[in-house]
Structure 1
Amino acid sequence: ARAEDLLPVEYFHVVFTLPAEIAQIAYWNKKAIYGLLFKASAKTVMNIAADRKRMGVRVGMTSVLHTWGSALTHHPHIHMIVPGGGLSPDGTKWVASKPGFFLHVRVLSRLFRRLFLDGLVALHQAGDLAFYGDLERLALTDAFTTWLTPFRKSEWVVYSKPPFGGPEAVLAYLSRYTHRVAISNHRLVSADADTVAFRWKDYRVKNGDRQKIMRLATPEFIRRFLIHVLPDGFHRIRHYGLLASSARKANLTKIRKLLCVQPPDQADVQDAEPDVTPLTLREPCPCCGGPMRIIEIFRRGQKPMSRAPPREQAA
């Protein structure tokens, strides 16, 4: 589905990160804080791109929420994939960004900081935030206002990675990272009732091997993993601007006409998918060595019918 949405333009990868102290509020307010993170980051890019001193265009983006660091720590951030350009205000032409450059990250950082903090204050005033433990005092308006003051002057982390190497690289990124969970199986080294060991990357190491092994008590590993379970029904992939679901098809059709390109043929998209080896069951059963028989074939996502195993035929 996303392959059909790709345009023959340069794509940029922008990351928005929350300060650790503010991210701590999300422990008890995941839906509110993560939703605000989506909203503030998207509005930041759309507002600055629409500024005539910058690009003066309407842009679209796909945002993906990650809440973890390499060591399973709480590190909420948004990965944003943005086509390099946008529609002019009157919608009559496509305006491309400068090659290899999208928007100034410092300008993005300043506006993102203001929009997020304004939204955070609004949530507090509406009584939509809960505080516990050492932060319970922040439920009081004066204490919350005082606590926020330093964050209005500190630098917030927004950075732009090098542009993707074409639309195909965008598709490869989406297929690998959008539905990733906090840790994948290949990073696990060992596990038992007492300890879990896994590989992690230490970004504090400037020169040398960043790959290290971390060993955690099993309850602590479980605690860290469960931090990243999202609220029921929460969407961690969202589309904004020109790529918003309600108008995406119409906007993409218009943009392709302006770029004088045709949409990707569905047959070509299917041909690009990796070949799947057909199921023959020529391999013997790994348990008894006898031939295996096909009992039922069902499609991906379809539940197999509940039935008893076949009886062995008498010789």
Structure 2
Amino acid sequence: MPPSHLEVADVFRMHGAAWRAANADHISLDQLKVMSAIERCRTAVLGGHVARCEDCAHEHIAYNSCRNRHCPKCQAGAAKAWLAAREAELLPVRYFHLVFTLPKPVADIARHNKREIYNLLMRSSADTVIRIAADPKHLGARAGITSVLHTWGSAMTHHPHVHMIVPGGGLSADGTGWIACRRNFFLSVRVLSRLYRRLFLDGLARLHKAGKLHFFGDHARLADRAAFDAFLRPLRKIDWVVYAKEPFAGPRAVLAYLSRYTHRVAISNSRLIRMDGRSVTFRVKDYRVNGPGRHTTMTLKTGEFIRRFLIHVLPKGQHRIRHYGFFGNGNRAANIARIKELLGAETSDQGHARDDNIDASDASDALARVLALPCPCCGGRLVIVETMAPERRPRAPPGTARAAA
């Protein structure tokens, strides 16, 4: 199978049924739904439509996508729409990139406690930044945060961590001024690490006391309170990895970064190289190596590839992108408008470009009938002329006579 055409869906379609049968007692309903969605994505099973080019009359068949957030093929459109909304919220300041990770012992117990520990990871990391930024000894301002949860490493191993994008400054306590941080320094990583460790471990202890954590296999003994306290003790003494990357080169670079990270899944189709009856080979990046050896390949048995992909399926309703501080959803628009006013930045007039003589609903209906991709023959607009219902058998390509009609 050519590398450029290999997809995660191909792996699932070829080996998914056998893997599900062999692992029936170890796969969750959420994981089963993800496998099914990816297998059916952009196939005749989901239905589709026929579009005709306005210029050359070429007809194009397009099948519907599954829109599952774990599907490698469905994230580009979602990311594009999300980024369009974020572009209007960009502030004319320097942005910083922080990363909060978990020690391996905690990451191990997160496998069976995803909802509780992932939520705690995002809350405690955000609380850390907000508290330190509000301290007059550091910044003395209310920060704004966009957090993105990732649960994987390059080899699809379980590695929960949070990527955080933070504007370089914040609102003053009374909301009347903008307090900027130093040019290449936001907050002390050492101070952030220590508070983050304390907040997370305190939260973990509360979850255990409330009976919200579950333990299996080698970790079953941790259900006992004394054993869990002993488990936490050494974690209070080690350094927790929090690091800050180089500041972004302007607000536009933030959008470029977010377009790659916000809607990423465990592995993209572009990283797949080949598949045979027993294994899958894909590209990986070793972050411990600098230079040419950083990019290499890895081959996994097909069953292990599927297992690794599915351990990153999030619980239903788990939000992977969250906003805190002055980006919090409650007063988000008002806060951004106020900050732009303080910084002397222009605010966009969303209604300015619209022609009042055009009915908005009519324009929306017209756009809904146009495919996002151009005609493969001439680049013209593809307009939907026929809809195919789900579960319909694949139809043959349109004939010459019909195309000319």
Q: Same fold (TM over 0.5)?
A: yes
**Mapped partners of 1:281, 1:100: distance in 2:** 47
Q: Give the structure with the larger helix fraction.
A: 2
Unaligned runs of 5+ in 2: 1-84, 355-370
| Cα deviation 1:28-57 (Å, max 9, x = unaligned) | 110000000000000000000000100110
Q: 1:153 to 1:222 in 2, by over 3 A?
A: same
State, as a whole percentage, how many aligned pairs show the same letter: 58
For residue 264 of structure 2, what is the aligned residue in structure 1?
Answer: 180
CA separation in 1, counterparts of 2:352 and 2:189?
A: 37
Q: Closer, same or farther in 2 for the Cα pair 1:249/1:185, shift >3 Å?
A: same
**2:134 paired with 1:45:** no
Supply the distance in 1 between the matched residues of 2:353 and 2:215 (Cα, whole angstroms): 49
User: CA 1:269–1:41 in structure 2 vs 1: closer, same or farther (change >3 Å)?
Assistant: farther
1:219 aligns with 2:308: no
Residue identity in the other structure for 1:39: R
| In the alignment, structure 1 residue 12 sits paired with structure 2 residue 101 | no
- The one-letter code sitting in structure 2 at the alignment partner of 1:245 is N
Provide closer, same or farther for how the CA distance between residues 9 and 27 of structure 1 changes in structure 2, counting only shifts above 3 A.
same
Q: 1:258 aligns with which of 342, 350, 365?
A: 342
**TM-score under structure 1 normalisation?**
0.87
Q: 1: distance between equivalents of 2:376 and 2:269?
A: 27
How far 1:264 moved relative to its partner?
3.8
Equivalent position to 2:385, from 296, 302, 310: 296
Q: What amino acid sits opposite 1:108 in the alignment?
A: L
Partner of 1:77: 161
> Which structure exhibits the higher relative contact order, with contacts defined as CA atoms closer than 8 Å and separated by 6 or more residues?
2
Matches within 5 A, 1:1-315: 1-264=85-348, 266=350, 279-280=374-375, 282=377, 296=385, 304-306=387-389
Name the SS of the counterpart of 2:182 in structure 1.
Answer: coil
Name the CA shift for 1:250/1:227 in 2 (closer, same or farther; >3 Å): same
CA contact (8 A) 1:15 1:79 kept: yes
Cα distance 1:27–1:99, how it changes in 2: closer, same or farther (>3 A)? same
Q: Give 3-state SS (helix, strand or coil) of 2:259's partner.
A: helix
Query: Once the 2 structures are TM-superposed, how far is the Cα of residue 232 of structure 1 from its aligned partner?
Result: 1.0
* Change in CA separation of 1:207 and 1:294 when aligned onto 2, cut-off 3 Å: closer
CA–CA separation in structure 2 for the residues paired with 1:267 and 1:166:
27
Offset of residue 201 of structure 1: 1.2
CA distance in 2, matches of 1:237, 1:37: 13
Distance 1:255 1:234, change over 3 A: same
Deviation at 1:206, TM superposition (A): 4.2
Q: Secondary structure of 1:262's match?
A: coil
Distance 1:208 1:305, change over 3 A: closer
Structure 2 Cα separation of the partners of residues 218 and 54 of structure 1? 50
| 1:281/1:294 contact within 8 Å kept | no
Give the number of aligned pairs. 295
CA distance in 2, matches of 1:281, 1:184: 24
RMSD of the alignment, in Å?
2.5
| 4+ runs deviating over 3 angstroms | 264-270, 276-283, 307-315
State the TM-score, normalized to the length of structure 2.
0.69
Shift of 1:247: 0.6
2:389 aligned partner, one-letter code: S
Q: Aligned partners of 2:351, 2:142: CA distance in 1, in Å?
A: 31
User: For residues 373 and 283 of structure 2, what CA distance do their matches in structure 1 show?
Assistant: 35
